[in-house]
Structure 1
Amino acid sequence: MKLTRYHQNTRIVPGLFLNDDMIVDASSFGADWNEEFFATDGLSRLRVWLANESATAPRVNSGKVRLAPAIARPSKIICIGLNYADHARETGATPPAEPVVFFKATTAWAGPSDDLVIPKGSLKTDWEVELAVVIGKRASYVTEAQALDHVAGYALHNDYSERAWQLEGTGQWVKGKSADGYAPFGPYMATPDEIADVNSLRLWLHVNGVAKQDGSTSNLIFRVPHIISYLSQFMTLLPGDVISTGTPAGVGLGFKPPQYLSPGDVVELGIDGLGTQRQAVVAYGD
């Protein structure tokens, strides 16, 4: 299944992609895609609903609606830094011996086609295409062998970063990662059965039609089971939590001289099997 959500007047409607163009309105299922849904085996109940009741539910064309974040705002957005060796090298860092962990504020949560507003005072807003993992059930002290049993699905995430706030002066990673709109998520969350091999997915990102990032999850330093197990040793992962697994080379910081986003730019990105995003960059206050 491919879970999504979309705006309809003043509300957000849960839905499912039936194909690239068509979404079924899942309002009659009676739940949003949130922590409670995942914690109560909602995916199993949703499969029954899809098989038995979705035929009479309304359909909408995905191109005619504004997509919301594919799942409801999670309790945590946990990110893994420097998880591709080529990205570590381009930033001048040594590939880490264990996962580098940081957070994004959940107020950064955004839809896949929402405008990216350059934050007030930002001069170094950067892009990062990433594979995101959605936790399906509570995880605490899980082993790598158990880890994938705790996965609800996978999605496309753009881990936008303000590099000056992240790295310069008294910079901290969470400061540089948490501006409003800095976490576009979707267009959908695909359940694991939709993905043939999560360890072999192409990721790409273009700015104004020019290729900037082109990588594969086969090059992750720490793969999904290790990341989930590792994180669960330090914190409880709740249903609906999101883990963003890192970005390949080609971020703006890595160019010489660095390249950063400006109003008028257009960012497009995608991952095999997980759809695409498009964000128009606009100035704060526009």
Structure 2
Amino acid sequence: MNLVTFTATGSQHWGVTAPGGVIALSDAFPQWKTLRNVIEAQAIGQVLAAAEGRAITHADGSYRHDIPVPDPEKIICVGVNFPDRNAEYKDGQDAPPNMSLFPRFARSFTGHSAPLIRPPESPQLDYEGEIAVVIGRGGRRIAEDQALSHIAGLTLCNEGTIRDWVRHAKFNVTQGKNWDASGAIGPWLVPFTDPAQIVDVELTTRVNGAVRQSDRTGRMLFPVARQIAYISTFTTLVPGDIIVTGTPTGAGARFDPPVWLCPGDVVEVEVPGIGLLRNGVADE
């Protein structure tokens, strides 16, 4: 069972996945409004146990997936985190000693199966398949050898980007990374129980069935444990925070000429043991 946030008949719920649908648990635990509250309470095990033996409450097709943690305090993304991705810049520079980071806002993401939205201001909507980690136990200056114990769960991310808007200023990419519903997170949150879930797994992104990105997390320039340790040096991580861990080479911007996402395209991000995040594309 995995944790899920979803909307049905106009109301948002949280619960767990089950064959054929989901089991809503938010009414059974009114003290926890969202999965962020469940994570803060260190209660993932409790809600999974409560789901045992329960019938599904919402059949597949009767609900809409939302991002698993709909109200994180912060979402921090790691850029240029694979060797081939660094080589794409063709600047002759080795990988930097420290990671590139930028923030994203929760409303810039939509859920599984919902369309990524291309705005009228730019046709340059691009994809970036990534793994996202959700912090379960907060902290400041977390030691790298203890960092993975601070993870509550794993999910997938299509860190959609409006490419020309990342170059509107000299030093930052925030504008191009935060268009409403330009990216996606989901479909669910997989409880984190074993470092093998993240240390060296295959990440694949497909567009209309064709593989565009494929790499393994074992090749990350800055592994997830290092990310948590580094980020927590300057900001306190809290339960429910999301770290989007970096994308491999192969985004549409790197084709010659570039290949942007268009209405009707379907993007899939897949990692064994975590799942498959699928989104179409639509114009705003």
Q: Distance in 1 between matches of 2:245 and 2:45?
A: 26
Within-5 A mapping of 1:200-211: 200-211=200-211
1:184-219, CA deviations, whole angstroms, 9 ceiling, x for partnerless residues? Answer: 111111111277431222111111222211111121
Q: Does 1:61 align with 2:59?
A: yes
CA-atom RMSD in angstroms: 2.0
| 1:244-273 CA-partner distances (Å, limit 9, x unpaired) | 000011111111222111222221221111
After superposition, the C-alpha distances for 1:143-164 in whole angstroms (9 at most, x for unaligned) are 0122112110111011011111
Structure 2 unaligned regions, length at least 5 = none
Which letter maps to 1:98?
A: N
Where in structure 2 are the equivalents of 1:202-221 lying within 5 Å? 202-221=202-221
Cα deviation for residue 223 of structure 1 reads 0.8
2:88 alignment counterpart? 90
Alignment match, 2:41: 40
> Matches of 1:48 and 1:56 in 2, distance apart?
10
Q: CA deviation at 1:29?
A: 3.0
Q: What are the within-5 Å matches in structure 2 for residues 16-165 of structure 1? A: 16-19=16-19, 21-27=20-26, 28-30=28-30, 31-50=32-51, 54-92=52-90, 94=93, 95-165=95-165
Indicate the SS of the match to 2:234: coil
Alignment match, 1:15: 15
| Alpha-carbon distance in structure 1 between the residues aligned to 2:22 and 2:158 | 23
Contact 1:156 1:186 in 2 (8 A): yes
Cα–Cα, structure 1 residues 171 and 209, in superposed 2: closer, same or farther, change >3 Å? farther
The TM-score, its normalising length taken from structure 1, stands at 0.90
The equivalent residue for 1:270 is 270
Change (3 A) 1:91 1:254: farther
Contact 1:77 1:105 in 2 (8 A): yes
Question: Kindly tell me: are residues 137 and 209 of structure 1, through their superposed partners in 2, closer, same or farther at Cα, counting changes over 3 Å?
Answer: same
In the alignment, the residues of structure 1 paired with residue 197 and residue 37 of structure 2 have an alpha-carbon distance, to the nearest angstrom, of 28
User: Would you say the 8 A contact 2:16–2:48 is kept in 1?
Assistant: no
Alignment map for 1:171-250 (pairs within 5 Å): 172-193=172-193, 196-250=196-250
Contact kept in structure 2, 1:81 and 1:101, CA below 8 Å: yes
4+ long deviations beyond 6 Å: none
- If the length of structure 2 is used for normalisation, what is the TM-score? 0.91
Q: CA deviation at 1:177?
A: 0.5
Determine if contact 2:156/2:270 at 8 Å carries over to the other structure: yes
CA distance in 2 between partners of 1:111 and 1:68 (Å): 4
AA aligned to 1:141 is R
Alignment partner of 1:29: what SS?
coil
Residue type of the alignment partner of 1:252 = G
